Amino acid sequence: MLIWTLTPHVLPLRFTWKISRNASTTKTNLVLRVQDANGGPVGRGEAAPNIRYGETPDGLQAEFAALQAAGLSEVQTETELHELLAAHPPAHALRFALEAAFVEWAAARAGQPVWQWLGAPEPAAAVPTAFTLPIMEPGAVADFVQEHGMARFQTLKVKVNQESGYDLLRELTRALPGRPLLIDGNEAWQDADALLQFVERVVPLPGLRVRLLEQPLPATHVPDYRYLRSRSPWPVFADESVTDSADFEDIARQFHGVNMKLMKAGGYRSGLRILRETQAHGLQTMLGCMVETSLGIWGALQVSGLAEVCDLDGILIIRDEPFGLVHEEAGRLHRHDN
């Protein structure tokens, strides 16, 4: 019999985390722990609820209680876990936490690292990550760049909206010209032509070097993405358009790449399938995260060998990171394995 526990953690942030649809100064994530009643290895997983998908800490705790009542403690194999989750589908973030905890427990019992248990490539010892500039007053950008040492990161990410996107890009490229940028619109624009007008305006900015443009339009605007794909001067990446399932033939007609997040995919297995489907359809691969502790980021690093671009800075947004499973040095993430 397995003993499962779910514990909420209120995480103060180092700065206001503002994107196009919301802003926050704290985040409440939940940590799952599993162990055999007789002792032995422990598995842990993190759930970072995303309000974009209707996920809340209270909702996830209610779903966990329902899974406990449905026989979660009796699960002994990964197949049995997947069968239970198929019969009682939880939110994607909770599903990832459950699978991550079970996989770590099972891999430890088998004497294997998690990446090997999953059949993923061995991750690099040090993985470069982007670091994100949230939406803020343009006049605050230079001080933010200096305060958070953004120059140490090879790639930067910037959250933009229609109101201040141009000004943020102008100030960031003044502070760090020539640095590859990931521009993330978080579905802020409503039509492709308005977005292209924004793109046309920012292209001439001195020092601007764009690596990709991430999900600038709502996921439901499929015709706009098909129109945009051949007209954007930069690769367009899907984020919110790809969760745990997608028609990748259609995704390939809309985008040049996919940002896979394990919280959004709902687990390692689904995330690995998304990355491999992305590759099979000739698309570029990116690995992202929510605002997560090092527990969640450690999990993402287990599958990082399949990603061309990693944006795993969620750990760097948290003020007092509680687990110490990953540390960042010179813009690279180093995991601490058990």
Query: What pLDDT score was predicted for residue 243?
Result: 84
Strand 23-36 to 326-329 pairing: unpaired
In this structure, what DSSP letter does residue 199 have?
H
Residue 261 has pLDDT above 80, yes or no: yes
Q: Is the separation of the CB atoms in 186 and 159 below 8 Å?
A: yes
What domains appear along the chain, each with residue ranges and CATH number?
Answer: 2-118 (3.30.390.10), 126-335 (3.20.20.120)
Q: Give this prediction's pTM.
A: 0.96
Q: At CA 96, angle to CA 10 and CA 304, rounded to 5?
A: 100
For Cα atoms 131, 303, 68, give the angle at the middle one, nearest 5 degrees.
105
Of the listed ranges 22-26, 132-136, 142-146, 261-265, the one predicted with least confidence? 22-26
Where residue 224 falls among pLDDT bands split at 50, 70, 90?
very high
Using pLDDT thresholds of 50, 70 and 90, give the confidence band for residue 160. Answer: very high
Give the CA-trace dihedral at 230, 176, 260, 19, to 10 degrees: -90
How many other C-beta atoms can be found within 10 angstroms of the C-beta atom of residue 146?
Answer: 11
CA distance 2 to 246: 33
> Among all chains, which residue has been given the structure tokens 């969760």?
243
What percent of the chain stands above pLDDT 90?
A: 97
Which residues on neighbouring strands pair with residue 312, listed in sequence order? none
* Residue 189: strand, helix, or coil: coil
Helix (H) or strand (E) holding 196: helix 192-202
Residue 306 main-chain phi, psi, to 5 deg: -100, 5
Closest among 261, 255, 262, 226 to 238, alpha carbons compared: 255
Q: What is the pLDDT of residues 81-111, one digit of tens each?
A: 999 999 999 999 999 999 999 999 999 999 9
| pLDDT tens-digit map of 113-143 | 999 999 999 999 999 999 999 999 999 999 9
| C-beta neighbour count of 125 within 10 angstroms | 9
Phi and psi of 44, rounded to 5°? -135, 150
Tell me what pLDDT residue 338 has. 64
| Helix (H/G/I), strand (E/B), else coil: 25 | strand
**pLDDT bracket for residue 21 (50, 70, 90):** confident
Q: Tell which residue, 307, 319, 313, 314, has the closest CA to residue 283.
A: 307
Q: What average pLDDT does range 278-291 have in this prediction?
A: 98
Mean pLDDT of 323-332: 98
Residue 73 DSSP one-character state: G
Task: Summarize pLDDT for 55-88 with one digit per residue, the tens.
Answer: 999 999 999 999 999 999 999 999 999 999 999 9
Mean pLDDT, to the nearest integer, of 182-201?
A: 96
What gap in Å lies between CA 315 and CA 292, rounded to an integer?
6
Predicted local confidence at residue 246, as pLDDT = 87
Give the torsion sign (CA, 293, 107, 91, 246).
positive
Angstrom CA distances, 1 to 34, 81, 98, stand at 10, 13, 16
Cα–Cα distance measured from residue 64 to residue 76, given in angstroms and rounded to the nearest whole number: 17
Separation of alpha carbons 5 and 2, rounded Å:
10
Categorize the per-residue pLDDT at 201 as very low, low, confident or very high, splitting at 50, 70 and 90.
very high
Tell me which amino acid residue 109 is.
R
